[in-house]
């Protein structure tokens, strides 16, 4: 993958229980890291234009917790996530857990939570951010991409790369 | 985007490894059943069974040519799966567009700070 399409996040499914999000930014990595870990700045981008971030709490230390809550513009739904930092290498890498606060009844944090690894890599003043989402199961991975989805789909992305061409 | 859980949709059709292998083979072009039997190393009845599932959801089309039945990929039937991942991708893209704006401001601020030193 080249940096030609820097405006679009690239999502791939490396294994049955992972999601990999990749995006390049026209900024050095210490600034991307700063925007990623500073509450006032997270509030400005995390909900995109789909809502307003009402809570962004970050205790940036190993064992420290984070919590983001947004209220959607459409419908006024409250959407919350929280987790714990497991590994922090400033300007390089953050490993943290992530738990959706609206998990269906009976789904434990272990079953529904993910471990996310954010990596910041700078080349010539531009930064590639990758977020590897490690889900506990394929079912959870699929549910993250489509909460209404039952088990069924496996990694079809390689195939879809080819198929996408036929859709043009 | 929620989708109904049915047994006869493209999602379930591609959830099976052998069927994905058939689709991979057909991505290279139209093939006869015998070709697929050879490529997959499966018995013909099994290949036919998978092809039937793929046909039912419209992911592959078939035509007769002489005594042969030729199968080909119908990419449009796979579009829902493509869209499924694309929707998720779009939400991250939107989020990162906002992050771009934040970064632009941070860069300018940093450049300004340097100038004041």
Residue B87, φ and ψ in degrees, nearest 5? -60, -45
pLDDT confidence of residue A166: 42
Domain boundaries, chain B: 10-75, 78-116
Contact assignment for B99 to A11 by CB distance below 8 Å: no
Averaged over B16-33, what is the pLDDT?
Answer: 88
Q: Give the residue numbers spanning the domain of A54.
A: 3-167
Cα–Cα distance, B106 to B12 (Å, whole number): 46
Q: Is residue A45 within 8 angstroms of chain B, CB to CB?
A: yes
Contact assignment for A31 to B106 by CB distance below 8 Å: yes
Domain B10-75: give its CATH code: 1.10.10.10
pLDDT confidence of residue A77: 81
Residue B13, φ and ψ in degrees, nearest 5? -60, -40
Walk along chain A (168 residues) and give the pLDDT tens digit of each residue: 333 334 778 888 888 889 999 999 989 999 999 999 999 999 989 887 778 899 999 999 999 999 999 888 777 888 889 999 999 999 999 999 999 888 878 888 888 899 999 999 999 999 999 999 999 998 888 888 875 232 223 333 333 344 444 444
| Unique residue bearing structure tokens 């379930």 | B12
Whether B36 and B22 have beta carbons less than 8 Å apart is answered as yes
Cα–Cα distance, A57 to A37 (Å, whole number): 10
- pLDDT tens, residue by residue, A6-38: 477 888 888 888 999 999 998 999 999 999 999
Residues in chain B: 117
Whether A49 and A165 have beta carbons less than 8 Å apart is answered as no
Query: Cβ of B115: how many Cβ atoms within 10 Å?
Result: 7
Compute the nearest-CA separation of B94 from chain A (Å).
Answer: 6
Residue A27 sits at the vertex; the CA angle it makes with A63 and A15, to the nearest 5 degrees, is: 55
Cα–Cα distance, B65 to A140 (Å, whole number): 45
Residues of A in contact with B96 (CB under 8 A): 9, 23, 25, 45
Give the count of domains, chain A: 1
Whether B57 and B50 have beta carbons less than 8 Å apart is answered as no
At A17, which CATH number? 3.30.530.20
Give me the percent of chain A exceeding a pLDDT of 90. 48
Least CB-CB distance to A49: which of B92, B94, B110? Answer: B94
Q: Is residue A81 within 8 angstroms of chain B, CB to CB?
A: no
């Amino acid at each position: 993958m080249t940096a030609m399409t820097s405006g679009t996040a690239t999502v791939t499914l490396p294994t049955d229980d992972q999601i990999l999000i990749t995006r390049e930014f026209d900024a050095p990595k210490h600034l991307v890291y700063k925007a990623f870990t500073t509450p006032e700045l997270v509030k400005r981008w995390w909900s995109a234009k789909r809502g307003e971030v009402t809570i962004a709490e970050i205790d940036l230390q190993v064992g420290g917790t984070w919590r983001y809550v947004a209220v959607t513009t459409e419908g006024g739904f409250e959407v919350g996530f929280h987790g714990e930092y497991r590994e922090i290498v400033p300007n390089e890498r953050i490993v943290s857990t992530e738990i959706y606060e609206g998990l269906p009844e009976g789904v434990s944090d272990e079953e529904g939570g993910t471990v996310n690894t954010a990596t910041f890599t700078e080349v010539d003043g531009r930064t590639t951010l990758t977020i590897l989402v490690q889900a506990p199961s394929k079912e959870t991975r699929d549910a993250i991409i489509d909460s209404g989805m039952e088990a069924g789909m496996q990694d079809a992305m390689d195939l879809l790369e080819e198929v996408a061409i036929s859709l043009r | 985007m929620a989708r109904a859980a049915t047994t006869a949709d493209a999602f379930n059709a591609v959830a099976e490894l052998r069927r994905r292998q058939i689709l991979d083979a057909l991505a290279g072009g139209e093939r006869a059943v015998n070709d697929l039997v050879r490529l997959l190393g499966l018995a013909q009845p099994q290949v036919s069974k998978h092809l039937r599932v793929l046909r039912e959801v419209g992911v592959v089309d078939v035509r007769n040519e002489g005594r042969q039945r030729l199968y080909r990929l119908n990419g449009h039937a796979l579009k829902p799966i493509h869209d499924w991942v694309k929707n998720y991708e779009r939400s991250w893209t939107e989020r990162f567009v906002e992050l771009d704006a934040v970064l632009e401001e941070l860069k300018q601020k940093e450049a300004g700070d340097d100038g004041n030193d």
